[in-house]
């Protein structure tokens, strides 16, 4: 029995060591623990799909993460608090928009850098923003308008008398009399 307990203890220790190594690797490779940088904010009308920890990307490269999302009860605008790496400077006239990694991908914040020589300082804000787009609403509208129904609109068709509906009457030309 004593030999069985020793083997089980060794196997258990190996499992715990592998789990700890996996957690360390995940923690260091995803930059989850790196919070060094500076905070900037942005006020947005919609932030669908964003949450704490969402990537902030500049030219497609992750440069930070969302720290917090707060709602202003008076204006109903969402203040997005972002932590940006200290080695990345964001021009003052940059724009920020919520975008997705594809049709089924997750959302992230994309910073489009401006051309200003002045940079946003710690505690500063990006003022040129575009909130998230309701992708499913757009798809629904596209499918609804592409179904062949013209919703009572003529769109310039059927204006010619020969194209008028015949209401069940036969409007074919009649053969000449006597033939």
pLDDT, one tens digit per residue, over 9-66 is 999 999 999 999 888 887 766 655 555 789 999 999 988 888 898 999 998 899 999 9
Q: What is the dihedral of CA 113, 115, 116, 118, to 10 degrees?
A: 50
More confident residue, 156 or 129: 129
pLDDT higher than threshold 50 for residue 156: no
Domain ranges of the chain: 1-30, 38-138
User: For the purposes of burial, counting CB atoms within 10 Å of the CB of 115, is it exposed (0-12), middle (13-18) or buried (19 or more)?
Assistant: exposed
Tell how strand 95-100 and strand 107-112 pair up: antiparallel
| pLDDT in the model for residue 17 | 93
Residue 117 has a CB neighbour count (10 Å cut-off) of: 8
Of the listed ranges 1-15, 29-43, 149-163, 164-178, the one predicted with least confidence: 149-163
More confident residue, 164 or 140: 140
pLDDT, one tens digit per residue, over 65-112 is 999 999 999 999 999 999 999 999 999 999 998 888 776 778 889 999
Residue 86 has a CB neighbour count (10 Å cut-off) of: 10
Task: Please calculate the CA angle 90-93-99 and round it to the nearest 5 degrees.
Answer: 75
Check if the beta carbon of residue 54 is closer than 8 Å to that of residue 107.
yes
| pLDDT in the model for residue 152 | 47
Q: Give the span between the Cα atoms of 81 and 79, in whole angstroms.
A: 6
Of the listed ranges 72-76, 112-116, 150-154, the one predicted with least confidence: 150-154
| pLDDT in the model for residue 155 | 46
| HEC string for the chain | CHHHHHHHHHHHHHHHHHHHHHHHHHHHHCCCCCCCCEEEEEEECCCCCCCCCCEEEECCEEEEEEEEEEECCCCCCEEEEEEECCCCCCECCCEEEEEECCCCCCEEEEEECCCCCCECCCCCEECEEECCCCHHHHHHHHHHHCCCCCCCCCCCCCCCHHHCCCCCCCCCCCCCCCC
């Amino acid at each position: 029995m004593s030999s069985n307990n020793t083997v089980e203890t060794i196997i258990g220790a190996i499992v715990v060591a592998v789990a700890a190594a996996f957690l360390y690797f995940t923690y260091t490779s995803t930059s989850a623990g790196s919070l060094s940088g500076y905070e900037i904010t942005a006020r947005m009308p919609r932030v669908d799909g964003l949450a704490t920890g969402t990537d902030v990307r500049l030219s497609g490269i992750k440069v930070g993460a969302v720290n917090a999302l707060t709602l202003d009860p008076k204006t109903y605008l969402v203040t997005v608090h972002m932590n940006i790496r200290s080695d990345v400077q964001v021009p003052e006239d940059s724009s920020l928009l919520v975008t997705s990694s594809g049709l089924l991908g997750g959302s992230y914040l994309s910073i489009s850098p401006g051309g200003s020589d002045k940079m946003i300082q710690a505690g500063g804000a990006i003022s040129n923003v575009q909130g998230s787009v309701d992708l499913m609403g757009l798809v629904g509208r596209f499918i609804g308008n592409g179904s062949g129904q013209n919703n009572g609109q003529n769109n310039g068709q059927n204006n010619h008398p020969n194209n008028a509906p015949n209401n069940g009457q036969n409007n074919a030309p009649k053969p000449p009399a006597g033939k």
